[in-house]
Protein backbone atom coordinates (compact mmCIF):
# COMPACT_ATOMS: atom_id res chain seq x y z
CA UNK A 1 0.00 0.00 0.00
CA UNK A 2 1.18 3.44 -0.89
CA UNK A 3 0.04 6.79 0.33
CA UNK A 4 0.77 10.40 -0.57
CA UNK A 5 0.29 12.53 2.53
CA UNK A 6 -0.17 16.29 2.18
CA UNK A 7 2.37 16.53 -0.61
CA UNK A 8 3.32 19.90 -1.98
CA UNK A 9 5.65 20.45 -4.85
CA UNK A 10 6.68 23.88 -6.02
CA UNK A 11 8.97 24.71 -8.90
CA UNK A 12 10.93 27.88 -9.28
CA UNK A 13 10.42 29.20 -12.79
CA UNK A 14 12.21 32.45 -13.61
CA UNK A 15 12.28 33.45 -9.95
CA UNK A 16 8.58 32.76 -9.50
CA UNK A 17 7.28 29.96 -7.28
CA UNK A 18 4.82 27.77 -9.13
CA UNK A 19 2.88 25.17 -7.16
CA UNK A 20 2.39 21.96 -9.11
CA UNK A 21 0.85 20.08 -6.19
CA UNK A 22 -0.77 21.52 -3.08
CA UNK A 23 -1.62 19.34 -0.09
CA UNK A 24 -2.03 16.40 -2.40
CA UNK A 25 -3.42 13.27 -0.73
CA UNK A 26 -3.65 9.98 -2.54
CA UNK A 27 -4.30 6.55 -1.11
CA UNK A 28 -3.25 3.61 -3.28
CA UNK A 29 -4.30 0.18 -1.97
CA UNK A 30 -2.07 -2.64 -3.17
CA UNK A 31 -3.29 -3.95 -6.51
CA UNK A 32 -5.56 -0.99 -7.23
CA UNK A 33 -5.90 0.70 -10.61
CA UNK A 34 -6.18 4.46 -10.11
CA UNK A 35 -6.55 6.93 -12.95
CA UNK A 36 -5.59 10.55 -12.49
CA UNK A 37 -7.51 12.64 -14.96
CA UNK A 38 -7.49 16.36 -15.47
CA UNK A 39 -6.56 19.19 -17.80
CA UNK A 40 -2.91 19.74 -18.68
CA UNK A 41 -0.99 21.60 -16.01
CA UNK A 42 -3.09 20.19 -13.16
CA UNK A 43 -0.15 18.32 -11.63
CA UNK A 44 -0.82 14.78 -12.88
CA UNK A 45 2.67 14.19 -14.22
CA UNK A 46 4.26 15.74 -11.15
CA UNK A 47 2.35 13.32 -8.92
CA UNK A 48 3.61 10.42 -11.01
CA UNK A 49 7.23 11.65 -10.93
CA UNK A 50 7.10 11.94 -7.15
CA UNK A 51 5.71 8.43 -6.84
CA UNK A 52 8.54 7.16 -9.05
CA UNK A 53 11.13 8.93 -6.91
CA UNK A 54 12.27 11.03 -9.86
CA UNK A 55 11.61 14.13 -7.75
CA UNK A 56 11.33 14.87 -4.08
CA UNK A 57 8.30 16.64 -2.57
CA UNK A 58 8.76 20.16 -1.24
CA UNK A 59 6.59 19.19 1.74
CA UNK A 60 4.68 16.10 2.84
CA UNK A 61 5.69 12.49 2.40
CA UNK A 62 5.09 9.36 0.40
CA UNK A 63 4.50 6.53 2.83
CA UNK A 64 4.61 2.87 1.91
CA UNK A 65 3.67 0.04 4.18
CA UNK A 66 5.85 -3.05 4.05
CA UNK A 67 9.59 -2.69 4.22
CA UNK A 68 11.33 -3.22 0.92
CA UNK A 69 11.13 -0.62 -1.84
CA UNK A 70 8.69 -1.34 -4.61
CA UNK A 71 9.79 -2.38 -8.07
CA UNK A 72 8.64 0.48 -10.26
CA UNK A 73 7.75 0.50 -13.93
CA UNK A 74 7.31 3.89 -15.57
CA UNK A 75 5.87 4.63 -18.97
CA UNK A 76 6.75 8.15 -20.05
CA UNK A 77 4.70 10.36 -22.33
CA UNK A 78 7.33 9.85 -25.03
CA UNK A 79 8.79 6.40 -25.70
CA UNK A 80 12.30 7.45 -24.59
CA UNK A 81 14.05 4.51 -26.21
CA UNK A 82 17.84 4.37 -26.25
CA UNK A 83 18.69 5.01 -29.91
CA UNK A 84 21.79 2.80 -29.74
CA UNK A 85 19.99 -0.33 -28.56
CA UNK A 86 17.81 -2.74 -30.50
CA UNK A 87 14.13 -2.86 -29.57
CA UNK A 88 14.71 -6.10 -27.65
CA UNK A 89 17.58 -4.64 -25.63
CA UNK A 90 15.57 -1.49 -24.94
CA UNK A 91 12.72 -3.59 -23.62
CA UNK A 92 15.09 -5.69 -21.50
CA UNK A 93 17.00 -2.60 -20.34
CA UNK A 94 16.09 -2.82 -16.65
CA UNK A 95 16.64 -6.58 -16.53
CA UNK A 96 20.15 -6.57 -17.98
CA UNK A 97 22.66 -7.66 -15.38
CA UNK A 98 19.86 -8.53 -12.95
CA UNK A 99 18.57 -11.77 -14.40
CA UNK A 100 20.18 -14.64 -16.30
CA UNK A 101 20.48 -13.95 -20.04
CA UNK A 102 18.14 -16.77 -21.20
CA UNK A 103 15.47 -15.54 -18.76
CA UNK A 104 15.75 -12.01 -20.11
CA UNK A 105 15.55 -13.23 -23.69
CA UNK A 106 12.46 -15.31 -22.95
CA UNK A 107 10.67 -12.56 -21.02
CA UNK A 108 11.48 -9.93 -23.62
CA UNK A 109 10.30 -12.19 -26.45
CA UNK A 110 7.06 -12.88 -24.59
CA UNK A 111 6.24 -9.23 -23.93
CA UNK A 112 7.21 -8.22 -27.48
CA UNK A 113 4.70 -10.76 -28.79
CA UNK A 114 2.01 -9.39 -26.50
CA UNK A 115 2.75 -5.88 -27.80
CA UNK A 116 2.75 -7.02 -31.42
CA UNK A 117 6.44 -6.20 -31.80
CA UNK A 118 7.72 -9.76 -32.22
CA UNK A 119 9.04 -9.07 -35.71
CA UNK A 120 10.87 -5.94 -34.61
CA UNK A 121 13.06 -7.33 -31.83
CA UNK A 122 16.24 -6.54 -33.75
CA UNK A 123 15.07 -3.24 -35.21
CA UNK A 124 16.56 0.03 -34.06
CA UNK A 125 14.19 2.56 -32.43
CA UNK A 126 14.51 4.98 -35.36
CA UNK A 127 13.03 2.29 -37.59
CA UNK A 128 9.79 2.09 -35.57
CA UNK A 129 6.63 4.08 -36.15
CA UNK A 130 5.46 6.34 -33.33
CA UNK A 131 2.86 3.84 -32.17
CA UNK A 132 5.34 0.97 -32.21
CA UNK A 133 7.83 3.00 -30.20
CA UNK A 134 5.09 3.74 -27.63
CA UNK A 135 4.38 0.04 -27.35
CA UNK A 136 8.09 -0.68 -26.88
CA UNK A 137 8.12 1.85 -24.04
CA UNK A 138 5.16 0.10 -22.45
CA UNK A 139 6.81 -3.30 -22.92
CA UNK A 140 9.96 -2.02 -21.19
CA UNK A 141 7.92 -1.07 -18.12
CA UNK A 142 5.92 -4.31 -18.04
CA UNK A 143 8.79 -6.75 -18.57
CA UNK A 144 10.10 -6.28 -15.03
CA UNK A 145 6.66 -7.21 -13.58
CA UNK A 146 6.73 -4.16 -11.35
CA UNK A 147 4.71 -3.90 -8.16
CA UNK A 148 4.01 -0.25 -8.93
CA UNK A 149 3.27 0.66 -12.53
CA UNK A 150 3.11 4.35 -13.37
CA UNK A 151 1.86 5.38 -16.79
CA UNK A 152 1.89 8.94 -18.09
CA UNK A 153 -0.58 9.22 -20.98
CA UNK A 154 0.98 6.13 -22.54
CA UNK A 155 -1.59 5.74 -25.29
CA UNK A 156 -2.07 9.39 -26.24
CA UNK A 157 -0.02 9.07 -29.43
CA UNK A 158 -1.72 5.88 -30.63
CA UNK A 159 -4.46 5.39 -33.15
CA UNK A 160 -7.87 4.52 -31.69
CA UNK A 161 -7.70 0.82 -32.62
CA UNK A 162 -4.26 0.25 -31.11
CA UNK A 163 -5.26 2.22 -28.05
CA UNK A 164 -8.28 -0.03 -27.46
CA UNK A 165 -6.17 -3.13 -27.85
CA UNK A 166 -3.44 -1.90 -25.48
CA UNK A 167 -5.99 -0.73 -22.90
CA UNK A 168 -7.39 -4.26 -22.88
CA UNK A 169 -3.89 -5.69 -22.70
CA UNK A 170 -3.01 -3.45 -19.76
CA UNK A 171 -6.13 -4.55 -17.90
CA UNK A 172 -5.28 -8.18 -18.63
CA UNK A 173 -1.77 -7.71 -17.24
CA UNK A 174 -3.23 -6.00 -14.21
CA UNK A 175 -5.73 -8.80 -13.59
CA UNK A 176 -3.01 -11.41 -13.96
CA UNK A 177 -0.18 -9.84 -11.91
CA UNK A 178 -2.05 -7.30 -9.78
CA UNK A 179 0.46 -4.46 -9.76
CA UNK A 180 -0.64 -1.19 -8.21
CA UNK A 181 -1.27 1.04 -11.21
CA UNK A 182 -1.45 4.81 -11.43
CA UNK A 183 -2.50 5.87 -14.88
CA UNK A 184 -2.46 9.50 -15.96
CA UNK A 185 -4.63 10.65 -18.84
CA UNK A 186 -6.60 13.64 -20.05
CA UNK A 187 -9.03 11.32 -21.81
CA UNK A 188 -12.18 10.93 -19.70
CA UNK A 189 -13.42 7.91 -21.63
CA UNK A 190 -10.10 6.18 -21.05
CA UNK A 191 -10.32 6.99 -17.35
CA UNK A 192 -13.81 5.54 -17.05
CA UNK A 193 -12.89 2.41 -18.99
CA UNK A 194 -9.75 1.56 -17.05
CA UNK A 195 -10.07 2.74 -13.48
CA UNK A 196 -11.11 1.23 -10.19
CA UNK A 197 -10.96 4.71 -8.93
CA UNK A 198 -10.88 7.93 -10.91
CA UNK A 199 -9.29 11.02 -9.33
CA UNK A 200 -10.19 14.25 -11.02
CA UNK A 201 -7.32 16.69 -10.55
CA UNK A 202 -7.51 20.40 -10.71
CA UNK A 203 -4.74 22.92 -9.99
CA UNK A 204 -2.55 20.63 -7.91
CA UNK A 205 -5.20 18.91 -5.79
CA UNK A 206 -7.65 16.06 -6.21
CA UNK A 207 -10.98 17.79 -6.65
CA UNK A 208 -13.15 14.71 -6.87
CA UNK A 209 -12.94 10.92 -6.57
CA UNK A 210 -15.17 8.43 -8.34
CA UNK A 211 -15.24 4.76 -7.44
CA UNK A 212 -15.83 2.60 -10.50
CA UNK A 213 -17.23 -0.87 -9.89
CA UNK A 214 -18.50 -1.55 -13.39
CA UNK A 215 -17.62 -5.19 -14.15
CA UNK A 216 -14.97 -5.94 -16.71
CA UNK A 217 -14.61 -6.28 -19.65
CA UNK A 218 -16.11 -2.83 -20.04
CA UNK A 219 -17.70 -1.25 -23.03
CA UNK A 220 -17.47 2.50 -23.60
CA UNK A 221 -21.16 2.54 -24.58
CA UNK A 222 -22.22 0.72 -21.41
CA UNK A 223 -24.71 2.88 -19.52
CA UNK A 224 -22.76 2.82 -16.25
CA UNK A 225 -19.59 3.92 -18.05
CA UNK A 226 -21.43 6.69 -19.86
CA UNK A 227 -22.88 7.88 -16.55
CA UNK A 228 -19.46 7.88 -14.95
CA UNK A 229 -18.09 9.92 -17.86
CA UNK A 230 -20.96 12.34 -17.46
CA UNK A 231 -20.24 12.68 -13.73
CA UNK A 232 -16.52 13.32 -14.37
CA UNK A 233 -17.33 15.95 -16.98
CA UNK A 234 -19.76 17.60 -14.55
CA UNK A 235 -17.04 17.59 -11.89
CA UNK A 236 -14.60 19.10 -14.33
CA UNK A 237 -17.05 21.84 -15.34
CA UNK A 238 -17.80 22.63 -11.71
CA UNK A 239 -14.07 23.06 -11.20
CA UNK A 240 -13.79 25.34 -14.20
CA UNK A 241 -16.59 27.57 -12.89
CA UNK A 242 -14.95 27.63 -9.43
CA UNK A 243 -11.75 28.75 -11.14
CA UNK A 244 -13.49 31.58 -13.06
CA UNK A 245 -15.23 32.75 -9.88
CA UNK A 246 -11.98 33.15 -7.95
CA UNK B 1 32.18 12.88 -49.88
CA UNK B 2 29.54 10.19 -50.10
CA UNK B 3 30.69 6.68 -50.74
CA UNK B 4 28.78 4.28 -52.94
CA UNK B 5 25.91 6.68 -53.69
CA UNK B 6 27.01 7.97 -57.09
CA UNK B 7 30.25 8.01 -59.04
CA UNK B 8 32.82 9.78 -56.85
CA UNK B 9 34.11 13.09 -58.18
CA UNK B 10 37.47 13.00 -56.45
CA UNK B 11 39.46 10.97 -59.05
CA UNK B 12 38.56 13.59 -61.64
CA UNK B 13 39.56 16.40 -59.31
CA UNK B 14 42.88 14.69 -58.52
CA UNK B 15 43.52 14.15 -62.22
CA UNK B 16 42.78 17.81 -62.98
CA UNK B 17 45.16 18.98 -60.27
CA UNK B 18 47.98 16.72 -61.51
CA UNK B 19 47.37 17.80 -65.12
CA UNK B 20 47.45 21.50 -64.17
CA UNK B 21 50.63 20.87 -62.22
CA UNK B 22 52.32 19.04 -65.15
CA UNK B 23 51.27 21.66 -67.71
CA UNK B 24 52.27 24.50 -65.38
CA UNK B 25 55.75 23.06 -64.84
CA UNK B 26 56.20 22.42 -68.59
CA UNK B 27 54.98 25.87 -69.67
CA UNK B 28 56.82 27.96 -67.10
CA UNK B 29 59.99 25.89 -67.16
CA UNK B 30 60.33 26.31 -63.40
CA UNK B 31 63.46 24.79 -61.85
CA UNK B 32 63.07 21.22 -60.60
CA UNK B 33 64.53 22.38 -57.30
CA UNK B 34 61.51 24.66 -56.81
CA UNK B 35 58.79 22.40 -58.15
CA UNK B 36 59.55 19.08 -59.85
CA UNK B 37 57.13 17.74 -62.44
CA UNK B 38 54.71 14.93 -61.55
CA UNK B 39 56.83 12.52 -63.61
CA UNK B 40 59.93 13.31 -61.53
CA UNK B 41 57.95 12.86 -58.34
CA UNK B 42 56.72 9.47 -59.53
CA UNK B 43 60.31 8.53 -60.32
CA UNK B 44 61.42 9.56 -56.85
CA UNK B 45 58.57 7.59 -55.28
CA UNK B 46 59.56 4.50 -57.25
CA UNK B 47 63.17 4.92 -56.22
CA UNK B 48 62.19 5.19 -52.53
CA UNK B 49 59.75 2.32 -52.74
CA UNK B 50 62.28 0.12 -54.48
CA UNK B 51 64.91 0.66 -51.79
CA UNK B 52 62.41 -0.09 -49.02
CA UNK B 53 62.86 3.43 -47.63
CA UNK B 54 59.26 4.43 -48.20
CA UNK B 55 57.80 1.44 -46.38
CA UNK B 56 60.18 1.93 -43.47
CA UNK B 57 59.32 5.60 -42.95
CA UNK B 58 55.60 4.96 -43.30
CA UNK B 59 55.79 2.10 -40.81
CA UNK B 60 57.68 4.20 -38.27
CA UNK B 61 55.27 7.14 -38.55
CA UNK B 62 52.11 5.02 -38.47
CA UNK B 63 53.37 3.08 -35.44
CA UNK B 64 54.07 6.30 -33.56
CA UNK B 65 50.69 7.71 -34.46
CA UNK B 66 48.89 4.53 -33.42
CA UNK B 67 50.70 4.42 -30.08
CA UNK B 68 50.09 8.10 -29.29
CA UNK B 69 46.49 7.96 -30.45
CA UNK B 70 45.75 4.88 -28.36
CA UNK B 71 47.43 6.30 -25.27
CA UNK B 72 45.65 9.64 -25.51
CA UNK B 73 42.31 7.92 -26.12
CA UNK B 74 42.76 5.90 -22.96
CA UNK B 75 43.84 8.91 -20.89
CA UNK B 76 41.12 11.19 -22.25
CA UNK B 77 38.33 8.67 -21.65
CA UNK B 78 39.51 8.00 -18.09
CA UNK B 79 39.79 11.73 -17.38
CA UNK B 80 36.33 12.46 -18.82
CA UNK B 81 34.86 9.55 -16.86
CA UNK B 82 36.37 10.75 -13.57
CA UNK B 83 35.28 14.33 -14.26
CA UNK B 84 31.73 13.19 -14.81
CA UNK B 85 31.60 11.28 -11.53
CA UNK B 86 33.76 13.26 -9.09
CA UNK B 87 33.01 16.97 -8.96
CA UNK B 88 35.97 18.02 -6.80
CA UNK B 89 38.50 16.36 -9.12
CA UNK B 90 36.98 18.32 -11.95
CA UNK B 91 37.20 21.64 -10.11
CA UNK B 92 40.85 20.98 -9.22
CA UNK B 93 42.08 19.55 -12.51
CA UNK B 94 40.09 21.56 -15.01
CA UNK B 95 41.94 24.92 -14.70
CA UNK B 96 45.42 23.48 -15.30
CA UNK B 97 44.04 21.37 -18.16
CA UNK B 98 42.48 24.46 -19.72
CA UNK B 99 45.88 26.16 -19.43
CA UNK B 100 47.66 23.22 -21.09
CA UNK B 101 45.12 23.18 -23.87
CA UNK B 102 46.20 26.62 -25.02
CA UNK B 103 49.77 25.46 -25.68
CA UNK B 104 50.43 24.04 -29.16
CA UNK B 105 52.01 20.59 -28.73
CA UNK B 106 54.93 21.61 -30.94
CA UNK B 107 55.83 24.32 -28.42
CA UNK B 108 56.39 21.51 -25.93
CA UNK B 109 59.04 19.81 -28.08
CA UNK B 110 62.05 21.41 -26.32
CA UNK B 111 60.75 20.41 -22.90
CA UNK B 112 59.78 16.94 -24.03
CA UNK B 113 63.26 16.44 -25.54
CA UNK B 114 64.76 17.41 -22.18
CA UNK B 115 62.45 15.11 -20.26
CA UNK B 116 61.99 12.19 -22.62
CA UNK B 117 65.06 12.37 -24.84
CA UNK B 118 64.93 12.28 -28.62
CA UNK B 119 63.62 8.73 -28.95
CA UNK B 120 60.19 7.25 -29.43
CA UNK B 121 58.88 8.42 -26.05
CA UNK B 122 59.21 12.07 -27.03
CA UNK B 123 57.42 11.59 -30.37
CA UNK B 124 54.64 9.58 -28.81
CA UNK B 125 54.43 12.23 -26.08
CA UNK B 126 53.86 14.97 -28.67
CA UNK B 127 51.17 12.94 -30.43
CA UNK B 128 49.50 12.15 -27.13
CA UNK B 129 49.41 15.85 -26.25
CA UNK B 130 47.97 16.69 -29.64
CA UNK B 131 45.29 13.97 -29.56
CA UNK B 132 44.26 14.28 -25.92
CA UNK B 133 42.21 17.45 -25.98
CA UNK B 134 39.96 16.78 -28.96
CA UNK B 135 39.03 13.40 -27.47
CA UNK B 136 38.68 14.75 -23.95
CA UNK B 137 36.55 17.71 -25.01
CA UNK B 138 34.43 15.54 -27.31
CA UNK B 139 33.76 13.12 -24.47
CA UNK B 140 33.03 15.68 -21.75
CA UNK B 141 30.86 17.63 -24.20
CA UNK B 142 28.97 14.48 -25.15
CA UNK B 143 28.46 13.57 -21.51
CA UNK B 144 27.20 17.07 -20.71
CA UNK B 145 24.73 16.94 -23.60
CA UNK B 146 23.19 13.61 -22.62
CA UNK B 147 19.40 13.78 -22.75
CA UNK B 148 18.08 14.06 -19.19
CA UNK B 149 15.03 12.09 -20.30
CA UNK B 150 17.17 9.04 -21.02
CA UNK B 151 18.91 9.43 -17.66
CA UNK B 152 15.47 9.32 -16.04
CA UNK B 153 14.80 6.04 -17.82
CA UNK B 154 17.96 4.73 -16.17
CA UNK B 155 16.79 6.00 -12.79
CA UNK B 156 13.34 4.42 -12.95
CA UNK B 157 15.01 1.22 -14.14
CA UNK B 158 16.83 1.12 -10.81
CA UNK B 159 20.31 1.78 -12.20
CA UNK B 160 23.07 3.09 -9.93
CA UNK B 161 24.84 6.35 -10.90
CA UNK B 162 27.79 4.36 -12.25
CA UNK B 163 25.51 2.12 -14.28
CA UNK B 164 23.73 5.18 -15.65
CA UNK B 165 27.09 6.60 -16.71
CA UNK B 166 28.12 3.36 -18.42
CA UNK B 167 24.81 2.31 -19.93
CA UNK B 168 23.12 5.62 -20.72
CA UNK B 169 25.49 8.58 -20.66
CA UNK B 170 28.55 7.13 -22.41
CA UNK B 171 26.64 5.47 -25.27
CA UNK B 172 24.71 8.68 -25.85
CA UNK B 173 27.99 10.63 -25.81
CA UNK B 174 29.46 8.31 -28.42
CA UNK B 175 28.73 10.44 -31.51
CA UNK B 176 30.53 13.34 -29.86
CA UNK B 177 33.40 11.07 -28.77
CA UNK B 178 33.73 9.86 -32.35
CA UNK B 179 33.98 13.43 -33.65
CA UNK B 180 36.68 14.07 -31.05
CA UNK B 181 38.54 10.95 -32.15
CA UNK B 182 38.43 12.01 -35.78
CA UNK B 183 39.72 15.48 -35.02
CA UNK B 184 42.40 13.93 -32.80
CA UNK B 185 43.54 11.69 -35.62
CA UNK B 186 44.06 14.71 -37.87
CA UNK B 187 45.81 16.70 -35.15
CA UNK B 188 47.97 13.67 -34.35
CA UNK B 189 49.21 13.49 -37.93
CA UNK B 190 50.19 17.15 -37.89
CA UNK B 191 51.98 16.88 -34.58
CA UNK B 192 53.74 13.67 -35.64
CA UNK B 193 55.24 15.18 -38.76
CA UNK B 194 56.20 18.27 -36.76
CA UNK B 195 57.93 16.16 -34.14
CA UNK B 196 59.78 14.17 -36.79
CA UNK B 197 61.01 17.33 -38.48
CA UNK B 198 62.91 18.37 -35.34
CA UNK B 199 64.91 15.48 -33.95
CA UNK B 200 64.47 12.22 -35.71
CA UNK B 201 66.18 9.56 -37.78
CA UNK B 202 63.12 7.96 -39.34
CA UNK B 203 59.52 8.69 -40.26
CA UNK B 204 57.82 10.80 -42.91
CA UNK B 205 58.76 14.09 -41.24
CA UNK B 206 62.38 12.99 -41.24
CA UNK B 207 62.11 11.95 -44.89
CA UNK B 208 61.02 15.47 -45.82
CA UNK B 209 63.58 17.18 -43.61
CA UNK B 210 66.40 14.99 -44.93
CA UNK B 211 65.36 15.53 -48.55
CA UNK B 212 65.29 19.27 -48.01
CA UNK B 213 68.89 19.18 -46.76
CA UNK B 214 69.86 17.27 -49.89
CA UNK B 215 67.89 19.66 -52.10
CA UNK B 216 65.73 16.74 -53.25
CA UNK B 217 62.47 18.63 -53.71
CA UNK B 218 61.01 15.65 -55.57
CA UNK B 219 61.31 13.54 -52.40
CA UNK B 220 59.80 16.37 -50.34
CA UNK B 221 56.77 16.34 -52.62
CA UNK B 222 56.54 12.53 -52.35
CA UNK B 223 56.52 12.91 -48.54
CA UNK B 224 53.89 15.63 -48.60
CA UNK B 225 51.57 13.67 -50.89
CA UNK B 226 52.05 10.54 -48.80
CA UNK B 227 51.20 12.35 -45.56
CA UNK B 228 48.01 13.76 -47.06
CA UNK B 229 47.04 10.42 -48.55
CA UNK B 230 47.68 8.50 -45.33
CA UNK B 231 45.70 11.09 -43.38
CA UNK B 232 42.75 10.73 -45.73
CA UNK B 233 43.02 6.95 -45.68
CA UNK B 234 43.11 6.76 -41.88
CA UNK B 235 40.07 9.03 -41.62
CA UNK B 236 38.24 6.96 -44.22
CA UNK B 237 39.06 3.71 -42.42
CA UNK B 238 38.05 5.24 -39.13
CA UNK B 239 34.68 6.40 -40.43
CA UNK B 240 33.97 3.00 -41.90
CA UNK B 241 34.95 1.23 -38.72
CA UNK B 242 32.59 3.50 -36.77
CA UNK B 243 29.78 3.10 -39.27
CA UNK B 244 29.92 -0.68 -39.06
CA UNK B 245 30.43 -0.88 -35.28
CA UNK B 246 27.85 1.72 -34.26
CA UNK B 247 25.39 2.27 -37.11
CA UNK B 248 23.39 4.89 -35.22
CA UNK B 249 26.37 7.26 -34.91
CA UNK B 250 26.35 9.89 -37.65
CA UNK B 251 29.92 10.07 -39.01
CA UNK B 252 29.56 12.00 -42.22
CA UNK B 253 29.82 15.34 -40.54
CA UNK B 254 31.99 18.30 -41.57
CA UNK B 255 35.46 17.62 -40.37
CA UNK B 256 37.87 19.45 -38.04
CA UNK B 257 35.89 22.61 -37.50
CA UNK B 258 38.31 23.78 -34.78
CA UNK B 259 41.54 22.66 -36.41
Question: Is the pLDDT reported for residue A133 higher than 80?
Answer: yes
Q: Within a 10 A sphere around the Cβ of A36, how many other Cβ atoms?
A: 25
> In the structure, what pLDDT confidence band is assigned to residue B221 with cuts at 50, 70 and 90?
very high
- pLDDT score recorded for residue B28: 92
Share of chain B above pLDDT 90, in %: 59
Q: Supply the pLDDT for residue B109.
A: 87
Pairing of strands A2-13, A59-64: antiparallel
CB–CB of A82 and B246 under 8 A?
A: no
Average pLDDT over residues B44-67: 92
Helix axes B217-245, B170-198, angle to 10 degrees: 170
Does B200 have pLDDT greater than 90?
no
- How far apart, in Å, do the first and last CA atoms of chain B sit? 19
Average pLDDT in the A107-128 region?
93
- Examine the pLDDT at A7 and tell me if it is beyond 50: yes
Q: Is the pLDDT of residue B5 over 60?
A: no
Residues of A within 8 A of B171 (CB-CB) are 82, 84-85
Q: Which residues of B touch A97 (CB under 8 A)?
A: 163
Angle of helix A160-177 relative to helix A130-142, nearest 10 degrees?
Answer: 0
* pLDDT score for B258: 39
Smallest Cβ–Cβ distance between B150 and the set A52, A73, A82 belongs to: A82
Does B156 contact A74 at a Cβ distance shorter than 8 Å?
yes
Closest CA of chain A from B156, distance in Å:
7
Spell out which residues of chain A touch residue B242, defining contact as CB-CB under 8 Å: none
Higher-pLDDT residue of A202, A243: A202
Could you give the maximum distance between any two Cα atoms of chain A, in Å? 61
Average pLDDT of span A228-243: 89
Residue B52, classed as helix, strand or coil, is coil
Question: Could you tell me if A186 lies within 8 Å of chain B, comparing CB atoms?
Answer: no
**How far apart, in Å, are the Cα atoms of A49 and each of A20, A153, B156, B160, B195?**
12, 13, 10, 18, 56
Annotate B111-154 with DSSP letters as a single string: HHHHHHTTSHHHHHHHHHHHHHHHHHHHHHHHHHT--HHHHHHH
Question: Residue B23: pLDDT above 70?
Answer: yes
- Helix-helix angle B217-245:B204-213, to 10 degrees: 170
Q: Stretch B194-223: mean pLDDT, rounded? A: 89
Residue of A nearest to B149 (CA): A80
Identify whether the C-beta of residue A229 lies closer than 8 Å to the C-beta of residue A189.
yes
For A48, the closest chain B residue by CA position comes to B156
**Per-residue pLDDT reduced to its tens digit, A49-99:** 999 999 999 998 888 877 667 789 999 999 999 999 999 999 999 999 888
pLDDT over threshold 70, residue B1: no
Give the closest-approach CA distance of A84 to chain B in angstroms. Answer: 6
Res A104 pLDDT > 80: yes
CA of residue B174 relative to chain centroid, distance: 18
> Using CA atoms, how far apart are residues B220 and B41, in angstroms rounded to an integer?
9
Query: Hey, where are the domains in chain B?
Result: 53-245
pLDDT of residue B198: 80
Average pLDDT over residues A92-118: 92
Please report which confidence band the pLDDT of residue B259 belongs to, taking 50, 70 and 90 as the band edges.
Answer: very low
With beta carbons under 8 A apart, name residues in chain B contacting A76: 149, 152-153
Which domains, ranges and CATH numbers included, belong to chain A?
28-56+67-71+148-246 (3.40.50.300), 81-145 (no CATH)
d(CA A175, CA A228): 22
pLDDT of B254 > 50? The answer is: no
Q: Which residue has the higher pLDDT, A18 or B167?
A: B167
Residue A150: strand, helix, or coil:
strand
Beta-carbon separation of B248 and A78 below 8 A: no
Over range A152-174, report the average pLDDT.
90
Per-residue pLDDT band for A246 (boundaries 50, 70, 90) equals low
Q: Report residue B4 CA to chain centroid gap.
A: 25
B53-245: CATH topology: MetI-like fold (1.10.3720)
Query: What count of CB pairs under 8 Å joins A to B?
Result: 46
pLDDT, tens digit, 9 for 90 and up, residues B79-126: 998 998 898 999 999 999 999 999 988 888 889 889 998 888 999 999
Give strand pairing partners of A75.
A151
pLDDT, averaged across chain B: 88
Radius of gyration of chain B (CA): 22
Q: pLDDT tens for residues A37-52?
A: 998 888 999 999 999 9
Distance (Å, whole) CA A28 – CA A34: 7
Query: What ipTM describes this predicted complex?
Result: 0.90
Contact A21, A50 (CB under 8 A): yes
Q: Which of residues 118-157 of A touch B (CB under 8 A)?
A: 124, 126, 144
Encode pLDDT of B114-150 as tens digits.
999 888 899 999 999 999 999 999 999 999 999 999 9
A25 sits in the region (left: phi over 0; alpha: psi -120 to 50; else beta) called beta
CB-CB under 8 Å, A54 with B149: no
Residue A57: name the closest of A30, A26, A92, A88 by CA. Answer: A26
| Residue B144, phi-psi category: left (phi > 0), alpha (psi -120 to 50), beta (remainder) | alpha
A80:B172 CB<8 A: no
Give the number of other Cβ atoms within 10 Å of residue A47's Cβ. Answer: 27
Amino acid sequence: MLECRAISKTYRIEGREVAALRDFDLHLPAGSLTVLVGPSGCGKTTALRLLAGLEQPTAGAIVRSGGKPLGVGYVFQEPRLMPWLSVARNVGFALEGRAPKPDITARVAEILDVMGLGDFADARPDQLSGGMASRAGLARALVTRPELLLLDEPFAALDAMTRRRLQAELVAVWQRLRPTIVFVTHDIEEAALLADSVCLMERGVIAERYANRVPRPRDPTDLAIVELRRAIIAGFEAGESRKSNT
Amino acid sequence: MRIGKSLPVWPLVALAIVATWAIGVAVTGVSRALLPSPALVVDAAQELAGSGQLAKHVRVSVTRLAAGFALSTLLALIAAFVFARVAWVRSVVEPPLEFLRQIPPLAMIPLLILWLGIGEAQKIGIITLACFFPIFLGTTGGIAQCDQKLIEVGRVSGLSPNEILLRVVLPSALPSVVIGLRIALGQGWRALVGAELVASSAGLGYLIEDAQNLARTDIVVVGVILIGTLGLASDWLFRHAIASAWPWVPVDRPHESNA
